[in-house]
């Protein structure tokens, strides 16, 4: 096997990152599933909480979802009266998604559950370690294309 000059442990970083993401997401997913929701739905509702209305492309980027999957998520949220679609006043060809009053209440309920679970993660891992990890990952993310 040819050596690249990169220490083998460094090449394992993507696997470690994926493992941590999977474990944290699984914890949040379990809590939200028990409440009748998903991480993806919670992410969408969270973005829409600013009241501005967002285009599907921006929502997809925020929720880390491909467009077809996001469409299904938003369709479910519309069916549950948690969000609604409205044409953009500035460009009638564009559709914006907004959080409904019912969606605001649901977001508050789900966020309380997520915050409670996140508190358990912080207790298990350490608040300082998680803050450092977030800072490092944010810095790395800004340097990658």
Domains of the chain by range and CATH?
A: 23-143 (1.10.10.10)
Residue length of the chain: 145
Rounded average pLDDT over 44-61: 96
Q: Residue 8 pLDDT more than 90?
A: no
pLDDT at position 44 is 98
**Spatial distance between the Cα atoms of 69 and 75, rounded to a whole number of angstroms:** 10
pLDDT at position 25 is 94
Long-range contacts of residues 105-114, Cβ cutoff 8 Å, at least 24 apart: 106/37, 106/45, 106/80, 106/82, 107/42, 107/45, 107/46, 107/49, 109/35, 110/32, 110/35, 110/37, 110/41, 110/42, 110/45, 111/42, 111/46, 113/31, 113/32, 113/35, 114/28, 114/31, 114/32, 114/42
pLDDT at position 19 is 94
Nearest to 41 by CA among 51, 53, 32: 32
- 90-125 residue pLDDT tens: 888 899 999 999 999 999 999 999 999 999 999 999
* pTM for the full predicted model: 0.85
- 64-85 residue pLDDT tens: 999 999 999 999 999 999 999 9
Residue 4 DSSP code: -
pLDDT at position 93 is 87
Mean pLDDT of the chain: 93
**pLDDT above 90 coverage of the chain, percent:** 84
pLDDT at position 5 is 62
């Amino acid at each position: 096997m040819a050596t690249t000059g990169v220490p083998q442990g460094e090449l394992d970083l993507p696997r470690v990152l994926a493992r941590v993401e999977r474990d944290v997401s699984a914890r949040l997913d379990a809590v939200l599933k028990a409440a009748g929701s998903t991480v993806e739905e919670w992410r969408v509702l969270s973005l829409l909480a600013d009241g501005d209305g967002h285009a599907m492309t921006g929502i997809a980027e925020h929720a880390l979802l491909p467009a077809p999957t996001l469409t299904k998520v938003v369709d479910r949220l519309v069916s549950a009266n948690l969000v609604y679609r409205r044409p953009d006043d500035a460009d009638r060809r564009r559709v914006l998604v907004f959080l409904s009053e019912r969606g605001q209440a649901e977001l508050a309920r789900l966020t309380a559950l997520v915050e409670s679970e996140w508190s358990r993660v912080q207790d298990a891992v350490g608040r300082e370690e998680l803050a450092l990890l977030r800072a490092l990952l944010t810095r790395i993310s800004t340097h990658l294309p």
